[in-house]
Copies of this chain bind each other. A is one copy, B any other.
């Protein structure tokens, strides 16, 4: 039985039946119950289309998760998701987490667009030249990019000023007299990491300091990567006297490597880490307290949700959505003057 027939049978409009099935408050409880009973009796199972008929929308936001690593274990993703949920919950919008095998991501977005199970999607961790922007544009599926990418299209994005953050942080270390500064970055195939690399290089260039490529390294933003890279940097002679680190998670590993080398953070070596404001990685609770570039990734999640709602509900133009958030430099005890030779 189709919606039309069910509506005819009940002597109600299709819209009323659809609204009743979707639990909309405009329909009184008695009518709702009548519709539900009939739907069960005739085994009518409305689909996403029927839901759209009632609301004009799927009431859901999609996120494609790569299956090659479990993003649900990544504290950066989890904080972003918490912020996103905080906003979407207010309007009872679903979040659809759609896993996708490596290489099959584009087909997953395509399916999402065609099946109309979501009203919009979030593009996370864009690469430097991310093909998803052109695809989603072609598919006509609204989206907001958390980050930026090279594209001739005028797409909606929210990003933090990664270039400025790492430029200021590097400048602060240079002002303290450091000249051998190591950069422990995220993967530069991602735009945020490339921006941080740029900021670092610009600060050094502005001070007439040459970048030592042996002191520039990247990897996934884990404790282990931080440890491994720092241990390698510290084995060099002369040693670096300061480190710029792309996440608090990495800074934990870096700190272990510094201790293993018998060095004292804030005296023998300085460190500034990027702080996404993850509750259990509090830079004030570290010993010594950690100097950071700070921007809440949870707040970014909340704002991305808000922007998505504006795109979908208010029909705001994607081209009008370009938010670049400034990043604080918070100086704590992990940074000090460069040690004398």
Q: Is the CB–CB distance between B65 and A73 below 8 Å?
A: no
Closest B residue to A44 by beta carbon equals B114
Given the complex, which residues of B lie within 8 Å of A72, measured CB to CB?
A: 78, 81-82, 84-86
Partner of A115 from B47, B93, B99 at Cβ < 8 Å: B47
Given the complex, which residues of B lie within 8 Å of A47, measured CB to CB?
A: 47-49, 115-116
Partner of A101 from B82, B92, B99 at Cβ < 8 Å: B92
Q: Is the CB–CB distance between A114 and B280 below 8 Å?
A: no
Closest B residue to A281 by beta carbon equals B280
- Tell me the bound Cα distance from A114 to B67 in angstroms: 29
Partner of A99 from B67, B82, B85 at Cβ < 8 Å: B85
Given the complex, which residues of B lie within 8 Å of A104, measured CB to CB?
A: 23
Partner of A86 from B70, B78, B92, B110 at Cβ < 8 Å: B70
Q: Is the CB–CB distance between A99 and B110 below 8 Å?
A: no
Beta-carbon contacts under 8 Å, A11-67 to B: 21-23, 36, 39, 45-51, 60, 65, 67
Given the complex, which residues of B lie within 8 Å of A232, measured CB to CB?
A: none
Query: For this complex, into which size category does the number of interface residues on chain A fall?
Result: 35 or more
Partner of A82 from B39, B67, B73, B86 at Cβ < 8 Å: B73
Does A310 reach chain B (CB closer than 8 Å)?
no
Q: Is the CB–CB distance between B94 and A89 below 8 Å?
A: no
Give the Cβ gap from A308 to chain B, nearest Cβ, in Å.
15
- Tell me the bound Cα distance from A136 to B85 in angstroms: 25
Chain A 93-123 near chain B by CB (<8 Å), digits 1 or 0:
1111111110010011011001111000000
Q: Is the CB–CB distance between B82 and A70 below 8 Å?
A: yes
Q: Is the CB–CB distance between B85 and A70 below 8 Å?
A: yes
Closest B residue to A75 by beta carbon equals B280
Q: What are 14 A-B pairs with beta-carbon distances under 8 A?
A: A21-B115, A23-B107, A36-B110, A45-B114, A45-B116, A46-B114, A47-B49, A60-B96, A67-B90, A72-B84, A94-B97, A94-B98, A95-B96, A280-B280
